[in-house]
Structure 1
């Protein structure tokens, strides 16, 4: 079992990273939607000082739609009108009046009421730079890799990156494009983790599952593609498929979300981790809980100990069933 955290303001100093590794962390994710490899050099240097041979996973932009740069976070209230001026061009061309926009893994919801992406706030919250955007029931033709992705891939060997996470994988062609880019950078040995985050990825995973090193069940955006009450069924179907193909898989998103603020997780969160392990997950990852949370070391400690408890329970009952 592998345990991954995410680099961020709460987890980028030497003492914290050493404590995280001491708690059982296997490696870390760097979210390139917020900052590139060159901009993260100081963090990466400290990471390798904490553990020279640690795993470093980079999470690319991929074919994901995101907000651009905002001058400052914007507090929005229900019913308020807001016109987006910082979205990818493809949305301005393809979104229609009546469409609904989900922002920041569905935390905010907007209804389009006029041209130029004039919207009404249906679910309020804080609008922040670089957060994910999805249009309910629609997909858009977006390239597999952005120029920023290609620039970062070219630096993989320089920074000791061990694996690449490709968001919103839709088909085998996406994996092919990534492999070409890795080969061009002389980094063809880098592991590929396919993030399954939309309906097309779920439906077509059987076509490309053998082409990747690991499958990532990324529940944040999957929870926008499917009703939340269906999400865990989709997660379990993906787990079954991975087991059938003997393909390692990771479960990620909101495993310990409450610990961004709280020192102790909820019972539902530890149950979620426990059941992911029983379903056969080969790795688990925390994101914001560690990157921006108040208790990053405690987060990793609960993640590892809960998973170890699940593995022990599983081993005990498998042994009992054997006899």
Structure 2
């Protein structure tokens, strides 16, 4: 069983990373949605130093931008109040024009894994330098640069890899990257594009992790399996693609497909979400981890809990101890 944490300010020291590794973490995820490998090289160097000091070989996964929709850059965080209005696009919140073109009146727009929800007033209209729409805040919250964006029920066509992704792939070997995560995998062609880019970069040995984050990926799961090394059941954006009460059944379906095909799979997102602020997780979170292992997961990953939470090492400890307990119980059953 592999246990991953996500790099970020909360674990931004060699000492904290050593504590996480000592607690049983076997690998880390570097989210490249907010910068390239070169800009994030200091994180990798810290991980490698922590691993050397503990004589531990650490897996390093780079999470590409891929075809995921994200907000653009803006200087200050926005506190969106319920019932208020936001301009999306030209002169307002920076939203890709590809997404604006698909927005219709009444569409639900989900930001940051659905933490903030907007309702579009009208479709995109041309302005002086682009397109813009008005949207009402249905569920308020803090909006930050680079966060995920989704239009419920709609798939916006985007290229498999950005130019930034291709640059990072070319540099992956020199940074010691062991695996690459492709967001929003839609079909086998996405994985073939990634495989070809890795091959051209002399990085064909790097493991491919296919993130299932939309219904296209769910429906295509059988055709995807031969073209990836691992499946990632990424419940954040996947939960935006359906009513949340349907998500558990979809997770179980994906796990079953992977088990039957003998394909390793990871479960990720909000495994220990309460540990952003609390030193002890909820009973439901611990049960979620335990059940993911019983379903056959080969790896588990923490995201914001280690990147931005108050208790990164403790979160890893709970993740690992719960996962190992589940494995012991499976052996004894």
TM-score bracket for the superposition, by shorter chain length: over 0.9
1:207 aligns with 2:223: yes
Aligned to 1:122, what secondary structure does the other structure show?
Answer: strand
CA deviation vs aligned residue, 1:168-208 (integer Å, no higher than 9, x gap): 00001000100111011110111000000000100001012
Matched residue SS, 1:195: strand
Aligned residue in 2 for 1:73: 77
Is the 1:105–1:220 Cα contact (8 Å) retained in structure 2?
Answer: yes
Q: State whether structure 2 residue 115 is matched by structure 1 residue 99.
A: no
1:111 aligns with 2:119: yes
> Is the 8 Å Cα contact of residues 7 and 30 (structure 1) preserved in structure 2?
yes
Deviation at 1:35, TM superposition (A): 2.0
The 1-side partners of 2:152 and 2:45 are apart by: 40
Root mean square deviation of aligned Cα: 0.8
SS for the counterpart of 1:154 is helix
Which residues in structure 2 correspond to 1:168-207 (within 5 Å)? 168-207=184-223
TM-score for the superposition, normalised by structure 1:
0.97
Cα deviation code 1:39-64 (max 9, x no counterpart): 11111111111114311000000100
SS in 1 for 2:165: helix
1:12·1:47 contact (CA, 8 Å) conserved in 2? no
Name structure 1 gaps, 5 residues minimum. Answer: 318-323
Distance 1:220 1:132 in 2: 10
Partner in structure 2 of residue 62 of structure 1: 66
Aligned length: 317
Aligned structure 1 segments of 4 or more residues deviating by more than 2 angstroms? none
Question: Which of 252, 259, 268 is residue 275 of structure 2 equivalent to?
Answer: 259
CA contact (8 A) 1:11 1:291 kept: yes
Q: Does 1:285 align with 2:285?
A: no
1:32 corresponds to? 32
Partner residue in 1 for 2:86:
82
Q: Give the TM-score normalised by structure 2.
A: 0.94
- Cα distance in structure 1, aligned partners of 2:42 and 2:68: 27
- Residue 140 of structure 1 and its aligned partner are, at CA, apart by 1.1
Q: Please state whether the residue corresponding to 1:117 is helix, strand or coil.
A: strand
Paired residue secondary structure (2:105):
coil
